[in-house]
Structure 1
Amino acid sequence: MRFKLSTLSLSVVLALAGITSLQVLAADTAPATADASKANLPGGLKFVRNVEGIDEYSLPNGLRLLLVPDASKPTTTVNITYHVGSRYENYGETGMAHLLEHLMFKGSKAHPRLWEEMSQRGVNFNGTTWLDRTNYYETFAAKPETLAWAIAMEADRMVNSRISGEDLKTEFSVVRNEMEMNENNSTTMLIERITSAAYQWHNYGKSTIGARTDVENVNIPRLQAFWRKYYQPDNATLVVAGAFDAQQVLGLVAKEFGKIPRPARVIETTYTLDPAQDGERDVTVRRTGDSQVVAALYHTVPAAHPDYAATEALALILGDTPNGRLYKALVESKKAADVFSWAANMEEPGFLMLGASLRTEQNAAAAKQILLDVTENLTKQPITEAELARAKAKLESNQSQVYNDPEKFAVALSDNLGNGDWRLFFLFRDRVRALTLADVQRVANTWIKASNRTSGSFLPAAQPVRAPAPAKVDVAEQIKTFKPGKALAQAENFVTTPENIDKRTLKGRLGDGMQYALLPKTTRGSTVVLSMQIHTGTVDSLKGKSGAAELAAAMLSRGAGKLSHQQFTEELDKLKTKLQISGGATGVIITAETEKSSLPRVLDLLRDALREPTFSAQEFSQLVTQNLAQLEEERKDPQAIAVDIVRKQINTWPADDPRYYPSADEKVAQLKAAKVEDAKQFWQNYYGGQHAEVSLVGDFDPAELRLLLQARFGDWKAKEAYQRVPKPYQAVKAQALDQITPDKANAFYFASMNMPLSDSHPDYPALTMANYLLGGAANSRIIERIRQKDGVSYGGGSYLNASSIDDNASFVAFALFAPQNRTKLETGMLEEINRAAKEGFTTAEVSDGKKSLLQKLQLARSQDNQLAGELSNNLYLGRSIQFDAEIEKKIAALTPAQVNAALAKYLSYDKLVTGVAGDFK
């Protein structure tokens, strides 16, 4: 499940993640000037239109095809969107669209073991269900054979999926596990209850995941009928994005999808709409947890409506951090820890939601009243030009970052298809650019009214003031006003082999000693990514400074140079730039994504953040409050607790050592005692460029860039000496730990152990392969057992993390599960880990696993942000990308005997420290 949002927190996105549309293009015709290459198309394909570099086609059976070419990265994304979501579910069918999403991965006639096939090809895949649509997508290294497989697979599972009772039995527990996972999040639950109260008749008031009783009692014939009705070519749009041969795709689509007949059935148009809300509504959710949440919802317009862009702007003007009115009224005054907003983009009338998260000691009633007063006072305190300019800059920046990434763009088109037409993506962009102050103020005055609000109590009124009843929009009429802009220039076909990367990378040092690696290449949208790491202190000098170090890093972008936190953030939005700075006692990590034209100014801002942060006492207080609120929530969260108790056991360093792992309670104590002077002192003494690395990948002039880096960081030196803090192997006694988390519907399992090897150790390639087969691949032993066979977990697996310097690695296994399934979950993990360690893997498993893992490793190098991070880390290690190539050669040459011997040498269940947290009473 998934939705678009303005500023809603990431934790809520993951919890709610999980959008179908009416066909509005039946009368479309191709432009009169269609080029000759689009004539004589195979299999009855018809060219419909080209919009900003995107070609649209249709098949006689109704399937729509969008080709989104981008050769800048050697990856391809295949996405198919079905115009069906929870809005189409009838009485007793809630959750059916989402349940089908799960079952579509169980296999089809030609692909009986679909997860295994995807894993063998190194495919990144997922499916999402929302109110208006369902989509499935695969991203993989650009290979004609993989592309052919993906298109054939999607065509086969469209009509030949195995929607069976046997699969349904195992998937029931998995879906319930996902449902219970959502119930652990206080913000998620409040949003679900508010939405349910806001919609009296419309299905937008029902959660996409469905009612528990519907999910548990659905029968196969009814589910199959739902699938046959909506999973048909005339109700689907296929998107192929990235690097591909267009003629190959057209031929494959005509061959694989063209043979599916157009169904005779008719999909009825939905017509249920809510009347105008006639008074305030209020809901209260009482559940265990430390953090408080207040929120308010106002009915608004569909995503295709001309006023939707103004609704998105309102979400930012009110709910953005740190520039929004609610942030200033609630967070800066210490009435709340954080704020969020969500302008729901839906095919039928949606809503604007605004909310705030609070710590335990903060007054929820007072915060709620401030939220309502600020939100509903826009008529008395009108929106300003400066607020609108900030909101427009952020909206354009967000959309630009999606458009410049073919994988994200392919998936983002699903939302717009669900809203009625994929071209709404561009129409929204144009409407944002055309927004005026009068537009936004009018929309605020129309919809933000007490009688249109769901958050307070119902209060009868003699003469209620009501917003107009929301209405549908004729999307085709709206699209007539759209004029396509200029398509982005296509980037080079960059080859991501280690040899080519090393050949194209320019390395050197600045005057202060900072190392740099520059990889210039043309990119879609002229994007550039930056990765920088700064190393600080020594074992002795860093003692007792971990808390101050983390806060120092977090303060760098909360005001720098002559810019306040608000101004600094506003400047980044104007530059369409994403900047992230994080760190601790031993160093700082900086990442940035921007465009070529903005790069000089972004480097100015980065210089100010690193060399002239303001360390405002007010900002520091807000940071501490936000961190405390997050920690207080984690102290009741099973996942955080399970990880906490295991890592505390494995980490044996003294409490003042920079390598020490503090518990959540210890972190809270540190934060309550934190002083801004200590954080500032740490920055002044330990930050400098002589022990730092920076890398940039993307569209830039390397000679010019080197001068820019030298001017900003060439004379920057830290006062304190630096010597790497070693992290040697520590043997830890195995034990089983658990902790009760009352009233939590989900539980978490976490297990770990240390191993004496680095990534240069001869056993490392074999152990990497063994872990991949055990719990890293989509069809790994652990996933096959706990999800596919036992059906007790929504997600789990294992991973191996090895140092590049010290002979020290850690193995981790984990899983989500319902508390009542604890015994079955732990038995499954124990049996699969020990079976792999004692019996090993088969020749077929190792052969398929090697192909899959190598493709995933190659795919990772095509992501510019990951590549930039690796380049900067390699500078520190004195390596080149050739090190990866050597590892991959060793993996390719592995025998089953080597893999099995490595696993048996290092791993068994009785060596693990295990931790489980949940409500087991």
Structure 2
Amino acid sequence: MKPIRFPRPASWLGALLLLWSLAAGAVAAPLPGGAVAGPRMGGVAEYRFPNGLTTLIVSDFSKPTVTVNAVHRVGSALEGDGEKGLAHLLEHLLFKGTPSHPDIPKEIAARGGRANGNTWADRTCYFEVLPATAENLDWALSLEAERMSRGRITPELLDKERGVVLNEMEMGENDPAATLMDRMASVAYDWHGYGGSTIGNPGDLKSVTYREVVDFYRRHMRPDTATIVVAGAVDEAAALGAVAKHFAPLPKAPGQPPAGRSREVGQDGDRAVTLSRKGEVQALGLLYHGPAVSEPDAAAFDLALGVLGDAPSGRLYRRLVEKGLASSVWAASFGFRDPSGPAFVMAQVPRDRSLDAAQKVLLETVEGFAQDPPSEEELGRARERILLYLDSEFADLDRFALGLSEWIARGDWRLFFLYRDRIARATGEDLVRAARRYLVAENRTLGRFVPVDRPLRVVVSQPRPLEATLSTFVLSQEPKLGASFDVSCAALDRSVTRVEVAPGLKGAFFPRKTRGGMVSLRLSLHLGTPESLAGRVAVGEFLAGMLDRGTARHSREQIQQLFDRLRATVSFWGGADQVGVFVVVPEEHLEETLALVAECLKEPALDPREVEVLRRETLAALDESRDDPGSRAWDRLERIFAPYPAGDVRRPLSLEEKAEGTRVIDVPALRDFHRTFYGLSVGEVAAVGPFEPERLKDLLSRHFGAWRAATPFVRAVRPFEEVPPRRETLRVEDKPNAVVAASAPVKILRGDRDYPDLWVAATVLGGGWLDSRLATRIRHTEGTSYGVRLSLEASNLDDFGRWNFTAITGPRNVPLVERAFFEELQRALKDGFTPEEVARGTSYLLEGMKVDRSRDAALAGLLARDLFLGRTFAWTEELEARLRAVTPESALAALRRHLDPRSFSVVLAGDLKP
């Protein structure tokens, strides 16, 4: 799909403006809608309209999508008494349509895009990511202008959406650590709205009236509290004109925007809260009030938290995780707009370890920071991690456009660049000063009570005016911007270079100019045979987790430091029969990064101490999964649909088997697995980015060409087998949320004649974006589930497919959700689908495939997959043609051939009392 390329005014208007600017007393041409140009920085241009609306335009043709992000400066911090959760509830309601857009999910699906909204303390945002066409941009702006001014809110919709939000609240209550953080915040704040949960108070949500919701909407949804971000393949002048068309006519709201913020006056003593409920893993937390993110010492404060909380080099990791006192730790500041925003330090502690011992070390480490200044090495590591995150966000245009929501909410979008510069310049003395002010007992809220001898009031400074600082700020270096490319299958096949890198290793390289100059690379190695891997599944999965935890030449800490210095995001993954790595790195650091990746794959140290650390982390994660209804339900279904004997590589381990296997794994077993199976037998590597293909081929050949596997790869075949239906209930006590999960076998390959018809039918029934039949009934009409989905699982090589259904709901609503699911299946089998449904589902799938090809990481994955399957994008082009040929009649016929509601196995999980 071609990007939006509106007529550029530079050809004639630009020349005219230049002449005007050279003339004495010249007056610039007026901008659309009376807009006034504001500051520019880092490829972002700001404009303001007379009604108070701000718009930010980021013109970048590196990918054929456009993102519209409407940021409204209203969140939980602005809610008054009786309104707790109203900002989030309003977010839900404003997806129910507008006069010109009565069915938002259907419209977004028909355009092949994705959309969502979310609410936090200082803002609510709504966004759409669409293929870049002028029509799509106009549609998204029209939707957001009407959502701001004419959202459809009725008493009936309010009553239905209450149930959905309450179900979402129940879902969050399943996580004890997240709930503990909410409780700590409620104790830490005397006055400010930061002490309240964004999702709200169940009492307020149940009792709020229609009139109160409408009043809240009219008070807060207004042009002078909104910023419209337009980013992507759009011409700046044309994008500004499109924004003006829809938003400039909106009248200026009367009076001043709601303030509603009570300031904290400072904390004068430590506080404590205890949460008691069932769970498998203990959690310990500290909350400290911190500076507003606009303040100069906010960067130093965040760096101090990085020195403390980074893994595996942070102080807390070394003193708690490596010593066996905790299974995991992290520390971070939320960086809110107002002073006193929360910074959390959290630790997970296994049930068989002492919470008191972990608490003692945690407090000594955090509150002793000012007396133990960071070394240059510690500061450098923390700085590189934060810069890596900021740079990777900037390099991904979609992430950057959506991430601007936070900086807008914090006071000004330019804070993104100012904060980055402050991170780069902060010194160890700055960190000590911030720690001495904020990381003290008198400013602490602990997950349990701790007495203190000397009370000390900590007063957080008020933010300074931003304009004086930002007006003189200049970017130290202009970032790299990307270029557009044709994502059609035929164009990609013409542009991709496919080579044999080494015997057994196929390569697919797509050189192109990317945002931030990043290269995305995916390497996959296939391992062993079904016979040789029997009984070794747990060892193979564990070994993949050890690859970046030290080599023969570098410790785990050194590896992490090197990757951070190279600005490389590296993820190793794998199991018994496959291992791989995904890399995103600036092109100038590609060679060094590949050398280190090869070292990790070929020379893992398998240090016994690191084995014990990973063992504890894995067991803690498994304990958490056993306490989660969704994990329990799908763990059971995976076992039901893998009717193979114990030890078979095709049979997934249960949570209990994974735990047992993890407990007995030792270093000799790991070394033997690596020696026996790791190396090159069959593999694929794909890369997208600004590299030279021949040079990349030589690098890969040098590192992996001679590394041969001792055991050749033979794929484990999984033919279709009937699975007798069954129904099971799993009791997961003290969980307010439940899960309905169901699967049925289907004999299908992705290349089969019926697959496109079934794929469209599955999308209409339960896929897409909130507009499926199941979502319409269960979420929108009955309001009994926050999340509901039906999908078709099909392989490219084996015909053992599955229908998979899942819904999150309250225990009391389980029968309603299950009944609705089977009734909708029967209705589809009886009445079929409308032409509009089939057209919408087909469009959603086709546009989604195009969007995937436009994303560098996804494209690398598609290229690697097709290398393994021995095909090109011509196969995908044929699949797209078959999708376009799907009709209501063909979809219904295929569904009747391949779907039998009686064949579903159903697993219900939650606190389902008899």
Match of 2:68 in 1: 78
- Residue number among 343, 352, 359 corresponding to 2:333 in the alignment: 343
Q: Please, which moves more after superposition, 52-61 or 885-894?
A: 52-61
Tell whether 2:628 aligns with 1:662: no
Shift of 1:460: 6.9
Q: Is the 8 A contact 1:834 1:908 kept in 2?
A: no
- Give the distance between the partners of 1:469 and 1:389, measured in 2 at CA: 27
- Residue number among 774, 786, 789 corresponding to 1:794 in the alignment: 786
Match of 1:685 in 2: 676
Match of 2:908 in 1: 916
The superposition leaves residues 764-784 of structure 1 with CA deviations (integer Å, 9 ceiling, x where unpaired) of 111111111111112011111
Match of 1:547 in 2: 538
Match of 2:40 in 1: 50
- Give the distance between the partners of 1:510 and 1:503, measured in 2 at CA: 19
Match of 2:509 in 1: 518
Match of 2:618 in 1: 627
Q: In structure 2, do the counterparts of structure 1 residues 264 and 307 end up closer, same or farther at CA, with 3 Å as the change threshold?
A: same
Shift of 1:298: 1.3
Match of 2:636 in 1: 645
- Residue number among 788, 804, 807 corresponding to 1:815 in the alignment: 807
Tell whether 2:699 aligns with 1:704: no
Q: In structure 2, do the counterparts of structure 1 residues 374 and 660 end up closer, same or farther at CA, with 3 Å as the change threshold?
A: same
Match of 1:68 in 2: 58
Q: Is the 8 A contact 2:275 2:447 kept in 1?
A: no
Q: Secondary structure of the equivalent of 2:786?
A: coil
- Give the distance between the partners of 1:457 and 1:127, measured in 2 at CA: 35
Shift of 1:458: 6.1
Return the letter of the residue paired with 1:112.
P
Return the letter of the residue paired with 1:785.
R
Shift of 1:653: 0.5
Tell whether 2:238 aligns with 1:256: no
Return the letter of the residue paired with 1:414.
S
Return the letter of the residue paired with 1:467.
V
Tell whether 2:817 aligns with 1:825: yes
Q: Is the 8 A contact 1:837 1:908 kept in 2?
A: no
Q: Is the 8 A contact 2:551 2:604 kept in 1?
A: yes
Spell out the pairing of 1:297-308 with structure 2 (5 A cutoff): 297-308=287-298
Return the letter of the residue paired with 1:285.
L
Match of 1:153 in 2: 143
Tell whether 2:506 aligns with 1:506: no
Q: In structure 2, do the counterparts of structure 1 residues 481 and 367 end up closer, same or farther at CA, with 3 Å as the change threshold?
A: farther
Q: TM-score with structure 2 length normalisation?
A: 0.95
Q: In structure 2, do the counterparts of structure 1 residues 34 and 401 end up closer, same or farther at CA, with 3 Å as the change threshold?
A: farther
- Give the distance between the partners of 2:104 and 2:412, measured in 1 at CA: 30
Shift of 1:212: 0.4
Tell whether 2:852 aligns with 1:860: yes
Q: Is the 8 A contact 2:746 2:802 kept in 1?
A: yes
Match of 1:732 in 2: 723
Q: Secondary structure of the equivalent of 2:369?
A: coil
Tell whether 2:134 aligns with 1:112: no
Unmatched 5+ stretches in structure 1: 1-31
- Give the distance between the partners of 1:337 and 1:459, measured in 2 at CA: 23
Return the letter of the residue paired with 1:780.
S
Match of 1:535 in 2: 526
Tell whether 2:268 aligns with 1:278: yes
- Residue number among 361, 376, 383 corresponding to 2:367 in the alignment: 376
Q: Secondary structure of the equivalent of 1:72?
A: coil
Return the letter of the residue paired with 2:201.
A
Tell whether 2:618 aligns with 1:614: no
Tell whether 2:173 aligns with 1:191: no
Shift of 1:563: 1.2
Spell out the pairing of 1:149-228 with structure 2 (5 A cutoff): 149-228=139-218
Q: Is the 8 A contact 2:79 2:260 kept in 1?
A: no
Tell whether 2:83 aligns with 1:93: yes
Spell out the pairing of 1:266-345 with structure 2 (5 A cutoff): 266-345=256-335
Q: Secondary structure of the equivalent of 2:621?
A: helix
Shift of 1:807: 1.7
The superposition leaves residues 234-266 of structure 1 with CA deviations (integer Å, 9 ceiling, x where unpaired) of 110000111113233222111111111111121
Q: In structure 2, do the counterparts of structure 1 residues 749 and 38 end up closer, same or farther at CA, with 3 Å as the change threshold?
A: farther
- Residue number among 861, 865, 881 corresponding to 1:869 in the alignment: 861
Q: Is the 8 A contact 1:304 1:478 kept in 2?
A: no
Match of 1:9 in 2: none
- Residue number among 777, 784, 798 corresponding to 1:785 in the alignment: 777
Q: Secondary structure of the equivalent of 2:320?
A: helix
Q: Secondary structure of the equivalent of 1:743?
A: coil
Shift of 1:555: 0.6
Match of 1:230 in 2: 220
Q: Is the 8 A contact 2:737 2:910 kept in 1?
A: yes
- Give the distance between the partners of 1:776 and 1:34, measured in 2 at CA: 58
Q: Secondary structure of the equivalent of 2:653?
A: coil
The CA RMSD measured in Å over matched residues stands at 1.7
Q: Is the 8 A contact 1:198 1:281 kept in 2?
A: yes
Tell whether 2:842 aligns with 1:842: no
Shift of 1:459: 6.5
Match of 2:130 in 1: 140
Shift of 1:80: 0.6
- Give the distance between the partners of 2:863 and 2:258, measured in 1 at CA: 54
Q: Secondary structure of the equivalent of 1:510?
A: strand
The superposition leaves residues 195-234 of structure 1 with CA deviations (integer Å, 9 ceiling, x where unpaired) of 1111111110010111100011111111111111111111
Q: In structure 2, do the counterparts of structure 1 residues 485 and 167 end up closer, same or farther at CA, with 3 Å as the change threshold?
A: farther
Q: In structure 2, do the counterparts of structure 1 residues 112 and 539 end up closer, same or farther at CA, with 3 Å as the change threshold?
A: same
Shift of 1:485: 3.8
Match of 1:413 in 2: 404
- Give the distance between the partners of 2:138 and 2:343, measured in 1 at CA: 42
- Give the distance between the partners of 1:325 and 1:37, measured in 2 at CA: 60
Shift of 1:705: 1.1
Shift of 1:479: 2.4
Q: In structure 2, do the counterparts of structure 1 residues 776 and 271 end up closer, same or farther at CA, with 3 Å as the change threshold?
A: closer
Q: Is the 8 A contact 1:74 1:142 kept in 2?
A: yes
Q: In structure 2, do the counterparts of structure 1 residues 441 and 38 end up closer, same or farther at CA, with 3 Å as the change threshold?
A: farther
- Give the distance between the partners of 1:781 and 1:796, measured in 2 at CA: 10
- Residue number among 596, 600, 615 corresponding to 2:591 in the alignment: 600
- Give the distance between the partners of 2:827 and 2:358, measured in 1 at CA: 55
Q: Is the 8 A contact 2:21 2:28 kept in 1?
A: no
- Give the distance between the partners of 2:826 and 2:801, measured in 1 at CA: 20
Spell out the pairing of 1:476-491 with structure 2 (5 A cutoff): 476-491=467-482
Shift of 1:454: 0.6
Q: Is the 8 A contact 2:58 2:236 kept in 1?
A: no
Return the letter of the residue paired with 1:810.
R
The total of aligned residue pairs comes to 890
Shift of 1:535: 0.4
Return the letter of the residue paired with 2:892.
N
- Give the distance between the partners of 2:499 and 2:847, measured in 1 at CA: 31
- Give the distance between the partners of 2:305 and 2:254, measured in 1 at CA: 43
Match of 2:575 in 1: 584
Q: Secondary structure of the equivalent of 1:531?
A: strand
The superposition leaves residues 643-665 of structure 1 with CA deviations (integer Å, 9 ceiling, x where unpaired) of 11222212111011011122111
Q: Is the 8 A contact 1:55 1:67 kept in 2?
A: yes
Return the letter of the residue paired with 2:852.
A
The superposition leaves residues 860-918 of structure 1 with CA deviations (integer Å, 9 ceiling, x where unpaired) of 11111111011011111101111111111100011111111111111132111111101
- Residue number among 455, 458, 464 corresponding to 1:467 in the alignment: 458
Tell whether 2:484 aligns with 1:493: yes
- Give the distance between the partners of 2:875 and 2:133, measured in 1 at CA: 24
Return the letter of the residue paired with 2:353.
Q
- Give the distance between the partners of 1:450 and 1:763, measured in 2 at CA: 65
Q: Secondary structure of the equivalent of 1:445?
A: helix
- Residue number among 701, 716, 723 corresponding to 2:707 in the alignment: 716
Q: Is the 8 A contact 1:773 1:846 kept in 2?
A: yes
The superposition leaves residues 166-217 of structure 1 with CA deviations (integer Å, 9 ceiling, x where unpaired) of 1111111100011001100011011011111111111100101111000111
Unmatched 5+ stretches in structure 2: 1-19
Match of 1:894 in 2: 886
